[in-house]
Amino acid sequence: MSEKLTITVKTNGERIDKFLSDNYPDISRSRLKQLINDGNITIENKLLKPSIKLQFGQKISILIPDPVESHLIAEDIPLDIIYEDKDILVIDKPPSLTVHPGAGNKKGTLANAILYRCPDLKAINGTIRPGIVHRLDKDTSGLMVVAKNEKSQNHLTNQQQTIGFNKHYIALVHGTIMNNSGTINEAIGRNPFNRQKMSVRQDGRKSITLFKKIKQFQKYTLLDIKTITGRTHQIRVHFAFLKHPLVGDKKYGGKTDLINRQFLHANILGFKLPSTNKDIEFKSELPKDLNSIINYLN
């Protein structure tokens, strides 16, 4: 059912979007802006703009409409669930599983699977759907956290934007990396010549990747990688830029006969639990297809 709230302003000159964000931290700023623009937040029945400044004593009326059913189709797709509570799921994603539906890809995704697995999902930004906090590329395997409700989604998103998640990956790259450790600090943006790819570019978004060498093979280097930022294809783009593309990454120059996908696995994921704010960390072993490559190289 829709929910009606009333709040009295006890300050002067504060923007309504900031005031509401401070008083309703469980509702995301984007959702509050949407409610204002849709006319669901009013002062004395007057329509508002997110930039309006408040006056002491004003009464704000907030109508939170009934959640909209998602267009997603619930599908019984097996999931490897590492952890679950009332707020989140931590999943060990297999390769070849797309995270979210896109153009020409409405079924068979992680989002469809979660909707089936959790029929009691709560609304996020007004729609009943899983909260995909961060993504892994289709052919990247490993750990992901998914929110079950808007409060948890906001908590996890705020973590990512402030203190960050502790995200580590294991990757096999082409060639010999001379340094035992290093930092790649190169901005990433959309490739102007191919919209399906990203590239290092001066006008891109700040992107930082840390790496440590695990083992050197004759033609390849096994790395532990930690991402400080979370840009699309970040690890793949950064190592292709260094002329050490990921083994199996056809899109960024790492084509090989060893494997049919990029050798990239999200093996460590740490963050603060939305329910308790306590630190928690999960680990995932290399899947069989990647482990067999290491055994072969050894």
The pLDDT tens digits of the residues spanning 241-260 come to 999 999 999 999 989 999 99
Say which range, 81-90, 153-162, 218-227, has the weakest mean pLDDT: 153-162
What pLDDT does residue 104 have? 63
What pLDDT does residue 297 have? 93
Picking from 55, 53, 56, 93, the residue whose alpha carbon sits closest to that of residue 77 is 93
What pLDDT does residue 127 have? 56
Mind listing the pLDDT tens digit for each residue in 174-230?
Answer: 999 999 999 999 999 999 999 889 999 999 999 999 999 999 999 999 999 999 998
| Whole-structure pTM value | 0.81
Instruction: List CB contacts of 189: < 8 A, sequence separation 6 or more.
Output: 198, 199, 201, 203, 204, 205
Active site annotation includes 26: no
What pLDDT does residue 17 have? 84
Of the two residues 267 and 133, the one the predictor is more confident about is: 267
Q: Please indicate whether the domains covering 3-66 and 163-298 agree at the CATH topology level.
A: no
Architecture field, domain 3-66 = Roll (3.10)
What pLDDT does residue 1 have? 47
CA angle 99, 102, 108 (to 5 degrees): 50
The DSSP result for 168-233, as a single string, is: EEEEEEES---SSEEEEE--EEE-TT-TT-EEE-TTSB--EEEEEEEEE-SSEEEEEEEESS--TT
Mind listing the pLDDT tens digit for each residue in 269-295?
Answer: 999 999 999 999 999 999 999 999 999
What pLDDT does residue 237 have? 97
Residue 47 has pLDDT above 50, yes or no: yes
Question: Residues 137, 139, 224, 249: which is the catalytic one?
Answer: 137
CATH topology of domain 67-161: Pseudouridine synthase (3.30.2350)
Mind listing the pLDDT tens digit for each residue in 98-147?
Answer: 987 776 667 888 988 988 888 777 656 555 467 788 889 999 999 999 99
CA distance 252 to 194: 12
Lookup: tokens for 227: 């991402």
Give the mean pLDDT of the chain.
88
Per CATH, the number for 163-298 is 3.30.2350.10
Q: How far is CA 210 from the centre of its chain?
A: 19
Residues 188 and 231: beta-carbon distance below 8 Å: yes
CA distance 215 to 27: 46
**Confidence class for position 231, pLDDT limits 50, 70, 90:** very high
Residue 66 has pLDDT above 90, yes or no: no
* Secondary element (H or E) of residue 22: helix 16-23
CA distance 219 to 176: 7
* Secondary element (H or E) of residue 99: none
CA distance 183 to 277: 29
Instruction: Go through 226-241 and write b for each residue having 16 or more CB atoms within 10 A of its CB, e for each that does not.
Output: bbeeebebbbbbbbbe
DSSP, res 109: S
Q: Give me the residue spans of the domains in the chain.
A: 3-66, 67-161, 163-298
The residue-averaged pLDDT of 61-77 equals: 77
Residue 170 has pLDDT above 90, yes or no: yes
